[in-house]
């Protein structure tokens, strides 16, 4: 049985055997982990553990195309597929800034070839705007072959549709 516990000043999330238990303002779904106990503290300013001098090879940008504004303060998480266990491992969590950008997702050293996904908590985002949406979350799954490149994955979002592309 796997257990993952994430603690922050604004929320606490525990996943036990694939069942998510939360308290606080944020909610993330996370798959079962293989270790018996993994504890990770995440600061509210540097959730990914990167310093201001570190360059992330992977960035994202959320645009609320329905209202013509950035997708500000949207919770998201980055995962990498373990090809042997065939399960997603949570790498980092973050929140888009006031411009809808999240540029500190992963360090160059941690960025290796493989399959990744970014999960955007779109339902929570629309709820904070007092609106409902059709997609409670959006997951963008992508493959990295050359980890020496940089990747930008924008999400164009409305309440009833979304699209994405590989930017530069």
Binding residues for substrate: 61, 101, 165
Report CA-CA distances (Å) from 130 to 9, 123, 124, 125, 136. 24, 11, 10, 9, 14
Q: Known binding site: residues?
A: 61, 101, 165
Instruction: Round to whole Å and give the CA distance between 133 and 54.
Output: 35
DSSP 98-163: TTSEE--S--TTT--SEEEEEEE-HHHHHHHTT---S-S-EEEEEEES-TTS-EEEEEEE-SS-EE
């Amino acid at each position: 049985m796997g257990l993952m516990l994430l603690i922050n000043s604004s929320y606490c999330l525990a996943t036990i055997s694939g069942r998510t238990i939360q308290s606080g303002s944020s909610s993330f779904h996370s798959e079962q982990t293989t270790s018996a106990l993994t504890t990770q503290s995440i600061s509210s300013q540097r959730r990914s553990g990167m310093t201001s001098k570190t360059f992330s090879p992977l960035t994202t940008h959320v645009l609320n195309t329905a209202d013509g504004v950035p997708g500000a303060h949207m919770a998201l998480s980055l995962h990498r597929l373990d090809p042997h266990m065939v399960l997603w491992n949570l790498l980092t969590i973050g929140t888009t800034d006031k411009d809808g950008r999240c540029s500190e997702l992963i360090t160059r050293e941690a960025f290796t070839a493989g399959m990744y996904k970014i999960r955007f908590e779109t339902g929570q985002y629309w709820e904070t705007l007092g609106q409902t949406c059709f997609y409670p979350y959006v997951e963008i799954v992508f493959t990295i072959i050359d980890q020496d490149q940089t990747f930008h994955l924008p999400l164009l979002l409305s309440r009833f549709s979304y699209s994405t592309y590989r930017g530069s």
